[in-house]
Structure 1
């Protein structure tokens, strides 16, 4: 197949991002380039002093500390209007301190930090890619970055065996990965209260994150199907956490669809509204410290909701569904699916009583996220 074929180019792009993510998660550097600007980065969460020194020696430039505007606001760094903020790494800022600066769970333990020197002037968008790829890797959204001479970048990467990925590949990853989803395995899985159930697994061609469709009964493809988009929740779905209503929503959706006769639940690998399980546990720690669910995510440097809807839209299309009756209280799910070409014929209310552990969580979703609760 020609390398100019869009499918082939997308596969290469997915591979490049996956390799860079794997290296970053191992504490190794990766190179990001736009063709005009190039940087080498380490994930702050996985960086240690020796690796930062090696990075500076490899690049021949002083490293900088990249954080999101959300995180900078918490650290009392003046905003610039940019989504990424660059700080000078002072002599007193070792790797251990920077890891703590990236992780909001240390804020109350170490309240007096700084002052920080913010890099002046416009920030090149390539630094947004350094943050984005850490998010894709379910790492804290922060990086140690070093400028690299673009003309020398290829030889440096080859000499040091560094992964190289482009700005466009990083920001196309969510869409490419979703569009490359393919059905992998289908099996009958009788459920309590819904014995006539099959589970269809989907996997992108790069072997990345897998999603599941829970098909109950024999849904009619001609009429709008009763559907639920459910983000996986280890704590709520599996071990019965009372901090959220996810487990009740999942089991309630199974019952409601079974009672009607047929429908589909998309079980999406988007734990913690897309920030991953480790970061969700960090957010839980911040909630225990008194912050609500949105403030907790933003203190960690994330947006309030990092989920994307393209995977769900692609799965529905592959299953033959173009119109749905969506069980949700979240208006963003309706809008997100419709932007991706799925017609939401009806929003079906799907809510459950609060308890003493999740009443603030549900109130926050209602007041700050516009959920119909």
Structure 2
């Protein structure tokens, strides 16, 4: 008798399914197995590693334990690397794992080996799951790991591209906005792991000509609550207003909180900023590069909406280059300025000086409140 899957004529992508489940497992503080050829490692997110998990793994006969950290974190800890590394763990000590993975002033106190392909893939899995990029890995006898979800390195590394390829519109409706009454929200499923993305079509842009476009990464603190630490909310509302007053446009509202790090890691970075770190040093102390975001799926959203040429509203050269690399014709780019505040001026200067954002402080000063 045919299975229900065969009966429905549905051929699931086993690799994507394994990856989706693995993301849910690590977010729920459970271990998974990552397979690379004949090699198998058990992986636990360091942020979830506690004495109970340490005891379970020790009782299962775990060997070759290591804490896998990305290069930015290792560099901050005095062990310069350009690739991830694996800090040897002679004992499964939860307190030590927490210290090495989270404390901003922690220093490396054990040998660091190059990360294996499976260990490097573990960090990509954690990044997709939006948890701290630090993984406890070990070898466990096969019979002891029975029942744990297994995902392969190839499953992990191919997941982002598969999500872009599967991008699809799942809902759309008119949503009148203040100052932009003729506006439609179009919801896409796909792009970033297990999250929906939204295109806001303002007015009636002429798709036969270059369309005004902004790629706006979600910022809960700035967009919704008016945080003074950034200029995101100002940029969001200013872009919609300008589009409404001109020939319309499309704003992509992308679920990429904290430059792609997720809201929990963004708050960890904010806590470090309160101690004096700038925005990029805070991210590096947590193990993140300057910017974790990718924009290939944003270009795919625009193409599905019939857009081939754009005038992009951004200060970020990475977004411009990403749209070009994805095959869109970027005919012009325009700046989007918020209001300078005592709380965000250092942040804006860091984006200009360290990430090459096009931010004119004289123009900003002209927008400062009296």
TM-score normalized by the length of structure 2: 0.89
Residue number in structure 1 paired with 2:289: 303
Residue number in structure 2 paired with 1:34: 36
SS in 1 for 2:158: helix
Distance 1:197 1:49, change over 3 A: same
Deviations 1:201-252 (A, max 9, x none): 0113998110000001112111110000000000000000010000000000
Is 1:127 matched up with 2:119?
yes
Is 1:175 matched up with 2:161?
yes
Residue number in structure 1 paired with 2:110: 117
> Structure 2 CA distance, aligned partners of 1:80 and 1:364?
23
Structure 2 stretches of 5 or more lacking a match? 360-370
Structure 1 stretches of 5 or more lacking a match? none
Distance 1:252 1:8, change over 3 A: farther
- Equivalent residue runs for 1:185-224 within 5 Å: 185-204=171-190, 208-224=194-210
Is 1:349 matched up with 2:335?
yes
Distance 1:189 1:51, change over 3 A: same
- Equivalent residue runs for 1:1-373 within 5 Å: 11-58=13-60, 60-76=62-78, 78-81=79-82, 83-91=83-91, 94-103=93-102, 106-107=103-104, 111=105, 116-120=109-113, 122-147=114-139, 152=142, 157=145, 159=146, 161-204=147-190, 208-373=194-359
Deviations 1:13-66 (A, max 9, x none): 222111111111121110111224321100000111221232344464242111
> Structure 2 CA distance, aligned partners of 1:346 and 1:146?
51
Q: Is contact 1:59-1:146 (8 Å) kept?
A: no
> Structure 2 CA distance, aligned partners of 1:284 and 1:300?
11
> Structure 2 CA distance, aligned partners of 1:115 and 1:223?
55
Residue 313 of structure 1 deviates from its aligned partner by 0.9
Q: Is contact 1:63-1:146 (8 Å) kept?
A: yes
Distance 1:80 1:287, change over 3 A: closer
Distance 1:331 1:80, change over 3 A: closer
Q: CA RMSD in A?
A: 2.3
Distance 1:25 1:262, change over 3 A: same
Residue 8 of structure 1 deviates from its aligned partner by 5.1
Which segments of structure 1 move beyond 6 Å, counting only runs of 4 or more? Answer: none
TM-score normalized by the length of structure 1: 0.89
Aligned residues: 353
SS in 2 for 1:202: strand
Greater alpha carbon shift after TM alignment, 349-358 vs 306-315 = 349-358
Q: Is contact 2:211-2:311 (8 Å) kept?
A: yes
SS in 2 for 1:135: helix
SS in 1 for 2:179: coil
